[in-house]
Structures are given as C-alpha cells and as structure tokens.
A and B are shown apart, each in its own frame.
Chain A
Amino acid sequence: MTPGRRKTVPVPRLIFEKSREGRMGCNAPVADTPEVDLKAAMGSLRAELHLPEVGELEVVRHFTNLSHVNYGIDTGFYPLGSCSMKYNPRVNERTASHPGFARLHPMQPPATIPGALEILAGVQDMLCAITGFDHITLQPLAGAHGEMACLMLIKAYHDSRGEGGKRKVVLVPDSAHGTNPASAARCGYSVRSVPTDPDGNTDLAALREALDDTVAALMLTNPSTLGLFEANIVEVCRMVHEAGGQVFCDGANMNAMVGMTRPADHGFDCMHLNLHKTFSTPHGGGGPGCGAIGLQKHLEAFVPTPVVRRRADGSVELDAHRPLSIGRVSAYYGQFLMEVRAYTYLRAFGREKMADIARHAVLNANYVMERLRAVLPPAYDRPCMHECVLTAEPIKKETGLRALDISKRLIDYGFHPPTNYFPLIVHEAIMIEPTETETKETLDAFCDAMIAICAEARSNPELLRNAPTTQIVGRLDETAAVKNLDVRWRPPARHAVEA
C-alpha cells in the first residue's frame, strides 16, 4: 500500500455557516385555525443563539458529507492500544433495535419486563462463568465507573470489619491506566506507586515493602498495560491478602483472557469489565459504555441495589433489600440496550467458541510484534498477550523523529494510529492492539506501512515531520487546542458591525 494523494474534499463548513434567514426544514400544512403571530404569543426568541436556519436537504447533505470524512472500525483498521476496537457484529444492532427491547421504559413495573430481566440475568450468568466471580452487577456506566464502584465495595468491606480507619492507601503499579489512581483518589484513598521489574512484571520486592496494614487494596491490570501477563499474579494476590488488603483487577485487557483463564481463579477479589471493549458493544463516540463489575462472595453484601437476582425457580426479580449496600451507582439499571448487544455477542459465541476471541487476539498481536521487531523493537522482549508495546526510541536517537511522527504518517497510509506515549514507563511507546477480528491481509498491510514509514524516517524525514498531508486538515496544534480551548461558534464579525 502506498500513501494516498491529497483528497479534493474541501474542509466541511459548519452548519451555522450554511444558515440563511427564514429557511426551514419542515413544511407546515395550511392552517385551518387563525394564525397567531409567534412573537406576540411567545415573546422574543433568543436571537443570540443564532440557531442554523437550513432546509432538510441541506441537513441531509451536511451530515452525510461529514460522515464521509469520518474514520471508524467500519471503514478501516483501528489498532488503538488498550481500547479493543474490534468489529461490533451487525446482529447486535438487530436484536437491540427489536421493539420489545428498544421501546421499554425504565420506569415500567418489573412485573411487565420479565424478558428484559432475563437478558440482564443471562449476561450476569455468562460473565460469572467467564470471570469465575460469584456475583456480577451491570450498573456501572463505564470502565472507570466500574473501578470506582469496586473501590467503594472494598471500602465498605474494610469498614464492616472495623479496619476502614487505618486502611487509607491504594497501591497502583507505575504502568497503570491513569484512571486507577484517579478512582482511588476519588474514593478518598492516597495512592502509592509500585514499580515494574525488568521483565515487565510487578516488582515483588517493592510490593512487599509497600504492603502494611494501611493498605486497602492493590489495583492491578492483568494482562498489564505492557500487554504482558502478570507472571506472578497468584503470588501477588497472596501477598496482598496476607497483609489484609484486597486485590482489584482492571479488566480493560480481558480480551486477552476471555474463555482461557478466569481472574477470580488468580486470586482477585473483584474486577471490572468493559462490555464496550471485550463484548463488542459500540465503543467509538463515547459508547454509551458498560463497566460491569464482578466480585467474590465476601463483597456481595455491599453490591449496588437493585440487584438482578435469579430465584430458585429460574425466574428473575429486582431485589432492593440489601441493608449493607453501597446504594445505587447509576439511575435505573445501567445501559440496558448495551447489555442486549453484549448478550447477543455472548450467545453467538457460546461457551465452546469463547476462547477463540482471546486466542486470535493474542495471535494477531504477536504476529504484528514479530513482523515489526526489526524496525520497532518490543519494550519488553517476551511473548505478548492481546497487544504489543513497541518503542520508537532507536529511531528517535538516529533521526530525531518521534513515535508521534510515525503515527501521523500512518494516517497518510490510510490507517488509524496506534496509542502513543502509553504506558508512561516506556519511552516513545507505540501500543498496538489489532484485536481478533482482522484478517492476516489487513495486518500485513498495516505492518508493511509501518516498515515503509520507518524507512522513510531515514530517507525522507520531512514526510513524517509534515504528516498527515492527505487529510482535510494537516498536523493539528495540540498545544493551542489545550491552552486556548474554544469550541463555541460565533457569527462572523460582519453581523457584529451591522448590529
């Protein structure tokens, strides 16, 4: 594949700029009642809003043209590390749009929605089987929300044992997602960082030193954000438990384990799952997400209410009677239609085929790592799980070009860039998560592009420095975007002069 030429697509104008006074998008029938002057009836409309006045065709063209300059999993490869940008099967949408699900109202009496409750219980049952946990709740609305809910459960657990007062510290590895320390701080904990050893595992000696009776929990991502399975996971959990702490598993990387190994068996007390990563509910555009959490029996008394509970006869009820509960963590019961999508996905695979997800995700990541090793060496040289973390440090030393320049150039080759500069402990990190849904041909085309770009870094560095050049906009000024954030449209100055 070679980089495309500059497209002739002009920068789309804003819909505000297409506005002409008096233009309308609807065609009102001739009135058979007396016409009333709008201004007289309602007073002045808020002229300062400058709402766009456009016809229906203008609106259709505007948004259709915008969709043509979008990039998503439906248009191309999206190897964004730590995000599991897998294909979301269309059948998920078909079930979620079924009127019996789509038209439910969250305030409907539970007795009128046995089918919906069965879906929720079904997802919970299957996630229990996949993770090994005793209990699953689907209430949290995002990954970080799930993390926070787990920490709240851990806090309630320590409080119930009279140890809440002294256990004020949460341990977080230096490779962790930034949401981990943020969730801990949000729950009132102070955060202590645990270093990574030279092999990419948690440094056991440093962990031992950090553990004492002030530690409430360890938050551990497994596989880690380095894309590596935590080799000492059983020992890590044992050490934390021995010190009286709890172990939370950040399940962002569950795609590497689904159907293969169960976090509850490793010794974790609780975890969160991103249905929008591992279980193929939509991820782009902010979801909406679902940060389901799983927990062992000793935390069950504290789960958020209401609990979707299966009765002995198999039927499902909403159980709000949990006196020790931390309370609701969201209105109603999570993102119901996301759970319908996840249910569809889980059923489509079934227990027998579930492990294919992890197997192919891990195989694809290792394939990419091996093909790119000569130009972008792995940060830690051992087989990876569902994603590989490479370093552009050698290229930076030789040419001065950075991981960011490589990623920007990749856009010219027609691919979404991988994650850059994360995890923080890897210099010039390039984190690639191909997922299981890509063909070998796609992976090869991506690797060919990366290899070609690394050659360009030496032969024609300006191509990288100026990239991207094939898009409707070039290299964006990220600094200005952060320092001078301004996303509000204002009418052109001409109007101001007239006024």
Chain B
Amino acid sequence: MNVPHDLKYTKTHEWVRLDGDTATVGITDYAQSELGDIVYVELPTPGRAVREGDSFGSVESVKTVSDVYAPVSGEVVDVNGALGAQSELLNTDPYGKGYLVKIRLSDPAAVSALLDSAAYAALLA
C-alpha cells in the first residue's frame, strides 16, 4: 500500500499536504482500494468553513457511500472540479490529480497533531 512519507494522515484515511497555510486533502491509497471503483464524489462549495472531524463531503463507490472528514479546521478555498467528470482519478492517482479539496487552515500548527506516515502505515498493518 502506498503511504508517501511527506504527507500527514488521519485514522479515517484522509491525507493532508501542507503548503504554507493551505492544506490539500484527499483520501489515501488504502481508502480507494477498500472502496473499489469510485463513481461519484460530493464536495462542498468553496468558501465553506469546516471543523476538524466534521464530514465535508462523500465518496460513492460501487460498494458503498462513505463520508469524508475534515482533518483540519479552516475554510475550503478550492475543490477538485475534475472529479465531477472523472471520479476514477481517486482510484488512479489518490495523492495527486485525485485530491478532493484545499483548506486554508485557521491554525496551521494543528497539522502536526495528525499521524505521520509511519504511524498511519502501522494503523494499516
């Protein structure tokens, strides 16, 4: 299972890439593999405030519909519009073109409280 070293993770299988005060958020390789082929993604509208732990959208596969939880608090500043027509990007490139949203953090330090790659890999073992 692919768990990149430079990202942070949640127990609910989201990943976070911090760039200044903005966090790019997606679901992990493990999550997409467990869900199977993803057929629909529901995302918030930009500008929405999210709180850590709250559901901000959902991912639907042929097996199930799963909520996606905000790893950090802040404001949604960008959503991945490409997923509307190409939800399979979540399966083929979960850490790249298949990202979900970008969140401007209300507290950038909060990211350090998330799991590092070693801790997340241990969770999957």
The answer, yes or no, to whether A499 is at the interface (CB within 8 Å) is: no
The answer, yes or no, to whether B112 is at the interface (CB within 8 Å) is: no
A483 contact from B39, B63, B66, Cβ within 8 A: B39
The answer, yes or no, to whether B78 is at the interface (CB within 8 Å) is: no
The answer, yes or no, to whether A9 is at the interface (CB within 8 Å) is: no
- B37 engages A421 (CB within 8 Å): no
Q: Count of A residues near B, CB < 8 Å?
A: 10
The answer, yes or no, to whether A478 is at the interface (CB within 8 Å) is: yes
The answer, yes or no, to whether A482 is at the interface (CB within 8 Å) is: yes
- In the bound complex, residues from chain B placing their C-beta under 8 Å from that of A463 are none
The answer, yes or no, to whether B2 is at the interface (CB within 8 Å) is: no
A482 contact from B34, B62, B64, B66, Cβ within 8 A: B62
- A479 engages B62 (CB within 8 Å): yes
- A482 engages B63 (CB within 8 Å): no
Q: Count of B residues near A, CB < 8 Å?
A: 11
- In the bound complex, residues from chain A placing their C-beta under 8 Å from that of B64 are 421-422, 424
Whole-angstrom CA separation of A479 from B86 in the bound complex: 12
Whole-angstrom CA separation of A420 from B62 in the bound complex: 11
- A421 engages B39 (CB within 8 Å): no
Interface string of B39-76 (1 = CB under 8 A from A): 11000000000000000000000111110000000000
Interface string of A465-486 (1 = CB under 8 A from B): 0000000000000110011000
- In the bound complex, residues from chain B placing their C-beta under 8 Å from that of A424 are 64, 66
- A479 engages B39 (CB within 8 Å): yes
Interface residue SS majority, chain B: loop
Whole-angstrom CA separation of A136 from B5 in the bound complex: 59
- In the bound complex, residues from chain A placing their C-beta under 8 Å from that of B87 are 483
Shortest distance from the beta carbon of A405 to any chain B beta carbon, whole Å:
12
Shortest distance from the beta carbon of B39 to any chain A beta carbon, whole Å:
4
For residue A483, which residue of chain B has the nearest CB?
Answer: B39
B37 contact from A422, A427, A478, Cβ within 8 A: A478
Shortest distance from the beta carbon of B34 to any chain A beta carbon, whole Å:
8
For residue B91, which residue of chain A has the nearest CB?
Answer: A479
Interface positions, chain B 17-41, Cβ under 8 Å from A, are: 34, 37, 39-40
Whole-angstrom CA separation of A72 from B51 in the bound complex: 48
Interface string of A422-437 (1 = CB under 8 A from B): 1010010000000000
For residue A421, which residue of chain B has the nearest CB?
Answer: B63
- In the bound complex, residues from chain B placing their C-beta under 8 Å from that of A478 are 37, 62
- In the bound complex, residues from chain A placing their C-beta under 8 Å from that of B62 are 478-479, 482
Whole-angstrom CA separation of A187 from B65 in the bound complex: 21
- In the bound complex, residues from chain A placing their C-beta under 8 Å from that of B37 are 478-479
Whole-angstrom CA separation of A422 from B37 in the bound complex: 17
- In the bound complex, residues from chain B placing their C-beta under 8 Å from that of A178 are 65
- In the bound complex, residues from chain A placing their C-beta under 8 Å from that of B63 are 420-421
- In the bound complex, residues from chain A placing their C-beta under 8 Å from that of B65 are 178
Whole-angstrom CA separation of A427 from B31 in the bound complex: 12
Interface string of A94-127 (1 = CB under 8 A from B): 0000000000000000000000000000000000
Shortest distance from the beta carbon of A151 to any chain B beta carbon, whole Å:
21
For residue A402, which residue of chain B has the nearest CB?
Answer: B36
Whole-angstrom CA separation of A420 from B64 in the bound complex: 10
- In the bound complex, residues from chain B placing their C-beta under 8 Å from that of A427 are 34
Whole-angstrom CA separation of A420 from B88 in the bound complex: 22
Whole-angstrom CA separation of A224 from B87 in the bound complex: 33
Shortest distance from the beta carbon of A464 to any chain B beta carbon, whole Å:
16
- In the bound complex, residues from chain A placing their C-beta under 8 Å from that of B34 are 427
Shortest distance from the beta carbon of A170 to any chain B beta carbon, whole Å:
15
Whole-angstrom CA separation of A155 from B87 in the bound complex: 38
For residue B85, which residue of chain A has the nearest CB?
Answer: A483
- In the bound complex, residues from chain B placing their C-beta under 8 Å from that of A420 are 63
Whole-angstrom CA separation of A482 from B35 in the bound complex: 15
- In the bound complex, residues from chain A placing their C-beta under 8 Å from that of B40 are 482
Interface string of A37-49 (1 = CB under 8 A from B): 0000000000000
For residue B62, which residue of chain A has the nearest CB?
Answer: A478
Shortest distance from the beta carbon of B87 to any chain A beta carbon, whole Å:
8
Whole-angstrom CA separation of A343 from B37 in the bound complex: 44
Shortest distance from the beta carbon of A419 to any chain B beta carbon, whole Å:
12
Whole-angstrom CA separation of A427 from B39 in the bound complex: 20
Interface positions, chain A 405-450, Cβ under 8 Å from B, are: 420-422, 424, 427
Whole-angstrom CA separation of A352 from B39 in the bound complex: 50
Interface positions, chain A 173-188, Cβ under 8 Å from B, are: 178
For residue B37, which residue of chain A has the nearest CB?
Answer: A479
Whole-angstrom CA separation of A422 from B66 in the bound complex: 13
Whole-angstrom CA separation of A316 from B5 in the bound complex: 73
Shortest distance from the beta carbon of B31 to any chain A beta carbon, whole Å:
13
- In the bound complex, residues from chain B placing their C-beta under 8 Å from that of A479 are 37, 39, 62, 88
Whole-angstrom CA separation of A420 from B39 in the bound complex: 18
Shortest distance from the beta carbon of A317 to any chain B beta carbon, whole Å:
45
Shortest distance from the beta carbon of A418 to any chain B beta carbon, whole Å:
15
- In the bound complex, residues from chain A placing their C-beta under 8 Å from that of B66 are 424
- In the bound complex, residues from chain A placing their C-beta under 8 Å from that of B39 are 479, 482-483
For residue B67, which residue of chain A has the nearest CB?
Answer: A193
Shortest distance from the beta carbon of A322 to any chain B beta carbon, whole Å:
38
Whole-angstrom CA separation of A422 from B65 in the bound complex: 12
For residue B40, which residue of chain A has the nearest CB?
Answer: A482
Shortest distance from the beta carbon of B29 to any chain A beta carbon, whole Å:
15
Q: A178-B65, A478-B62, A482-B40 are in contact. List 16 more A-B contacts (CB 8 A).
A: A420-B63, A421-B63, A421-B64, A422-B64, A424-B64, A424-B66, A427-B34, A478-B37, A479-B37, A479-B39, A479-B62, A479-B88, A482-B39, A482-B62, A483-B39, A483-B87
In the assembled complex, 8 residue pairs joining A and B whose CB atoms fall closer than 8 Å, in A order, are A420-B63, A424-B66, A478-B62, A479-B37, A479-B39, A482-B39, A482-B40, A483-B39
Q: Which 9 A-B pairs have the closest CB atoms?
A: A479-B37, A478-B62, A482-B39, A421-B63, A483-B39, A479-B62, A424-B64, A479-B39, A421-B64
